[in-house]
Amino acid sequence: MEFTRRDTLAIGMGAVAITVLPFRVNAAAEEAISAFTGGADIAETGVTLIAPEIAENGNTVPIGVEAEGAVAIMVLAMGNPTPGVATFTFGELAGAHSASTRIRLAGTQDLVAIAQMADGSFAKASSNVKVTIGGCGG
């Protein structure tokens, strides 16, 4: 078959801008946690955070959080330039203490969900979400 070698430019594998290393934790994330908890201890159990291990599309990553008995759940994308994603608050009559949304991730990083319980204690869950070029597996 005939083709002109030079004519055929291409979007090759990974024409996407991406960096190798996971995004660093933004200092603003630590500040947001302090502001939310007032520096209180945070338990490691009691919160469920559902997020994909590898994002299909970093621009719209579906996540879900759940914490039985929570009055508020804060979600942070630790490596985003603006780490705050959302804080869900639950009233006394809330039937379920769960919420789901979609978030944008600038790159591979940890997601953290911190729940404030009715008794004033805090609990958290975290999950690493990878944003990758992909395309070479299978």
Partner 1 sequence: MISRRDFLQAGMAASALVGASGFGNWSRLAAQQALTQDQLLQFDTFGNVSLIHITDIHAQLKPIYFREPEINLGVGDNKGHVPHITGADFRKLHGIEDGSPSAYALTYNDFTALAKTYGRMGGMDRVATVVNAIRAERPDALLLDGGDTWHGSYTCYHTQGQDVVNVMNALKPDAMTFHWEFTLGTERIRELVQGLPFAALGANIFDAEWDEPSEDFKPYEMFERGGVKIAVIGQAFPYMPIANPGWMFPEYSFGIRDQRMQEIVDEVRAAGAELVVCLSHNGFDVDKQMASRVTGIDVILTGHTHDALPEPVLVGETILIASGSNGKFVSRVDLDVRDGRMMGFRHKLIPIFSDVIAPDTAVAAVIDEQRAPYMDQLTEVIGQADTLLYRRGNFNGTWDDLICDALISEREADIAMSPGVRWGPSILPGQDITREDIHNVTSMTYGKAYRTEMTGEFLNVILEDVGDNLFNTDPYYQQGGDMVRVGGLGYRIDISKPMGQRISEMTLLKTGEAIDPAQTYVVAGWASVNEGTEGPQIWDVVEDYIRKQGTVTVAPNTSVQVVGA
- Which of 87, 98, 126, 132 touches partner 1 by CB under 8 A? 132
**Is residue 124 within 8 Å of 114, Cβ to Cβ?**
yes
**Is residue 28 within 8 Å of 82, Cβ to Cβ?**
yes
**Is residue 58 within 8 Å of 105, Cβ to Cβ?**
yes
Which x/- pattern over 44-83 shows residues binding partner 1 (rule: CB under 8 A)?
A: ------x-xxx-xx----x---------------------
Angstrom distances, CA of residue 97 to CA of 42, 75, 90, 115, 118: 18, 14, 7, 10, 12
Sole window of 3-11, 37-45, 74-82, 109-117 interacting with partner 1 (rule: CB under 8 A): 3-11
Q: Which two tokens stand for residue 70?
A: 């929570």
Q: Which of residues 6-45 bind partner 1 (CB under 8 A)?
A: 8-16, 18-22
Q: Which two tokens stand for residue 76?
A: 């942070």
- Which of 59, 94, 120, 135 touches partner 1 by CB under 8 A? 135
Shortest gap between Cβ of 136 and partner 1 (angstroms)? 4
Closest listed residue to residue 123, CA positions, set 64, 62, 51, 74:
74
Shortest gap between Cβ of 49 and partner 1 (angstroms)? 11
Could you list the residues that contact partner 1 (CB under 8 A)?
1, 3, 5, 8-16, 18-22, 50, 52-54, 56-57, 62, 100, 102, 128, 130, 132-138
